[in-house]
Amino acid sequence: MLTGIALRATLPAASAQEVKSVFAGADPDIAFAGGRYWIYPTGGGGLFAWSSPDMVQWTRKEQPLLRLKDIAWIEDDRAPQHFLWAPDMVQANGGWYFYYSVGPQNPTPSRIGVAICKGPAGPCTDSGKPLVTGGKGFEAIDPAVFVDPKSRTPYLYAGGSAGATLRVWALKPDMVSLDHEVKVDTPPNFTEGAFMHFRKGIYYLSYSAGKWDTASYQVHYAVALSPTGPWRYGGPLLVGDKRYRGPGHHAFFEDPKDGKWYIAYHRWEGQFGDGPYQGSRRVAIQPITYRDDGAIEAIRMK
């Protein structure tokens, strides 16, 4: 049974289209399973699952899916302090796999880990080793796993921030081991937070551009005919305005209830100027529209 704190949307909306934001959080991954919607954000004290029957009313699971103390290898780098952020939950091969970033990025390299879960609400058990370790100018952050519907190959997309480099690996069928790295180009204006989705024969690589705590943060995208490129740049997709600033680190999903595609992302609310901003970011969910040629129409925040 799920227990926790239920948070209401900013407006008493009947659908996600009318919701301004749903709860405080950042770096949301979103999915649908068991008749409920699930969001996995960055949050203090561990990484939690939030669920909703309607994308409007959200409840946080009482127990975290993963805490620092649950990761046996967390202190192998001897850093004085560690952080967890930017998780990604993936259902594949009859199981559930929870990917996450471990900081700091300085003075020791960031790392990516993966836990095996019983279901979308956990419980989760860490695999026992880091999946990717950063270094030599590469920051191992912001994992996103995509299972190619054509080949059934699972791919891990990761990297960004100071290195601003995208890297991709094919995973082994166990989903917790790397098979080999696939060399890809880093798309224009890439900073971090890569995400891949597939629709009608087109692969969409979307990502954050700019600095996370300033007005420069945005979502851009590129398209390809394979999950590893070559990319054709599509331009900015989600940019700040006078009301909401610095939107970014997002996930797409197709809602099986209405067949529409949605984006979940975070943004700064109640902020002024260009930043850097302080406080909590908010998670928002909005529908997206594809043009006949496959391009995604620019998203106006609500």
% of the chain with per-residue pLDDT over 70? 93
pLDDT, tens digit (0-9, with 9 covering 90-100), for 244-297:
999 999 999 999 999 999 999 999 999 999 999 999 999 999 999 999 999 999
pTM of the model: 0.92
Per the CB < 8 A criterion, the answer to whether 61 and 2 are in contact is yes
Instruction: Say yes or no to pLDDT of 15 above 60.
Output: no
Instruction: Determine whether domain 6-287 maps to CATH 3.30.2320.80.
Output: no
- The predicted model gives 10-38 an average pLDDT of 75
Q: Where are the domains of the chain?
A: 6-287
Q: Which long-range contacts (CB under 8 A, 24 or more apart) does 127-132 make?
A: 127/176, 128/72, 128/73, 129/73, 130/73, 130/102, 131/99, 131/156, 131/176, 131/177, 131/178, 132/156, 132/158, 132/169, 132/178
On the question of pLDDT at 14 being above 70, the answer is no
pLDDT digit string (tens) for 150-206?
A: 999 999 999 998 878 999 999 999 999 999 999 999 999 999 999 999 999 999 999
pLDDT band of residue 106 (cuts 50, 70, 90) is confident
Residue 3 has pLDDT above 50, yes or no: no
